[in-house]
């Protein structure tokens, strides 16, 4: 279902939900047990969100921002699973698009994200800076995110990180107000993925943490350049990292891909 110049929404719920669909925005809140699915699109850019659980509650907001779409999700639940997928077409002299996925699952699950575009930057960040981007906890939990630069046929750069475990908790968070993932492009700069944002006056820091027993997997690919925690591949390459933890895990991923 597509329509240029405005936000279009597909909404399917099997619980108590309140939705407001305007010419330029989608605002949906829900609370109860069951399933929810929302799909908002604008000029080929889109945000898709779904969830289910014994109890789920939250808010989804998508706004038409010119040719783009700004989306915020804050959701939590018991015995819950949430998924988010978003795509933004990059402006200027590039055919690439920026795509993200994120998920959270657990006896308690939380998703707290914003996906938007402005001034030659596409950002995946938190809606509420006092809460982690992703949280999963309980007897079984799983959280993760992915990012990709693609022209629709070929990916020039991609990244993913996932934590899956039992009898514990896992979170992905970022310090202060900084975004977790930044796609940079334009003004003569090559299209790139930075996780987190590049340092400036302040130093953005991502934090992946877990308690319990489980596994962390991280993958990255860049056709032109890779920097993984200081390990540089100036002509491109890929990396893969796997860790098994029994007790606790903590890391600060710092990645640039082009």
Nearest of 52, 41, 150, 145 to residue 94 by alpha carbon: 150
- Residue by residue, DSSP assigns 12-39 as EESSEEEEEE-SSEEEEEEEEEEEEEEE
Nearest one of 60, 75, 51 to 25, comparing CA atoms:
60
The strand ranges marked E within 66-96 are 68-89
What does the pLDDT read at residue 11? Answer: 46
| Residue extents of the structural domains in the chain | 1-71, 90-257
State pTM to two decimals.
Answer: 0.90
Phi-psi region at 86: left, alpha or beta (left = phi > 0; alpha = psi -120 to 50) = beta
pLDDT reported for residue 66? 73
Q: Which residues of the chain have pLDDT under 70?
A: 1-24, 188
Closest alpha carbon to 38 in 11, 63, 64, 60: 11
Look at residue 119 in the predicted model and tell me its pLDDT: 73
């Amino acid at each position: 279902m597509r329509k240029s110049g405005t936000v279009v929404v597909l909404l399917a719920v099997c619980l108590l939900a309140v939705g407001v669909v305007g010419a330029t925005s989608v605002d949906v809140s829900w609370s109860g047990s069951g399933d929810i699915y929302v799909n908002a699109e604008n000029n080929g850019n889109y945000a898709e969100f779904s969830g289910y659980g014994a109890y789920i509650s939250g808010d989804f907001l998508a706004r038409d921002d010119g040719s783009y779409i700004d989306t915020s999700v804050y959701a939590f639940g018991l015995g819950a699973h949430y998924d988010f997928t978003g795509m933004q077409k990059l402006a200027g002299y590039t055919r690439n698009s920026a795509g993200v996925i994120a998920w959270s699952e657990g006896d308690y699950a939380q998703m707290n994200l914003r996906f938007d575009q402005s001034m030659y930057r596409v950002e995946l960040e938190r809606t509420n800076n006092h809460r982690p981007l992703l949280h999963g906890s309980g007897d079984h939990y799983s959280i993760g995110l992915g990012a990709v630069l693609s022209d629709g046929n070929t990916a020039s750069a991609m990244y993913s990180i996932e934590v899956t475990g039992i009898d514990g908790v896992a979170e992905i968070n970022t310090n202060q107000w900084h975004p977790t993932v930044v796609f940079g492009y334009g003004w003569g700069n090559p299209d790139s993925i930075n996780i987190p944002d590049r340092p400036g006056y302040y130093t953005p820091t991502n934090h992946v943490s877990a308690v319990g027993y489980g596994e962390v997997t991280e993958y990255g690919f860049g056709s032109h350049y890779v920097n993984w925690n200081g390990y540089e591949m100036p002509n491109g390459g890929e990396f893969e990292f796997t860790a098994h933890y029994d007790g606790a895990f903590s890391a600060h991923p710092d990645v640039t891909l082009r």
